[in-house]
Amino acid sequence: MTPGESAANEAFEEAGVTGKLKERPLGVYCYEKIVEDGESYPCIVTIYALKVKNILEDYSEKSERQRKWFSRKAAAKQVLEPDLARLLKSFDP
């Protein structure tokens, strides 16, 4: 599985969406992930575009997530990571 395919699989599991993947990454950002015991770990995330073709009613992480759609600008305001916000704002599908 390529990194892009892995990202598409995460979108399927976490949001119940499938579609056409762009294999070239949109960009990369870093953040500190805080785990249950309070420790934090640096994470590097590669972002991929997925043109959504199907939205499923049932998906594996439905009980853990709330799916909500945003414009790019509104999404950028919702995230805590400044680098991710910049990627979202600059995304031009």
Q: What are phi and psi of 19, to 5 degrees?
A: 175, -160
**Of 26, 15, 24, 7, the residue nearest 76 (C-alpha):** 26
In tens, the pLDDT along 66-90 reads: 999 999 999 999 999 999 999 999 9
Domains in the chain: boundaries? 3-66
Q: Look at residue 36 in the predicted model and tell me its pLDDT.
A: 87
User: Structure pTM?
Assistant: 0.84
Burial of 86 per CB tally in 10 Å (0-12, 13-18, 19+): middle
Please write the tens of the pLDDT for every residue from 26-49. Answer: 999 999 999 989 899 999 999 999
Q: What percent of the chain has pLDDT over 70?
A: 100
| 6-20 residue pLDDT tens | 999 999 999 999 999
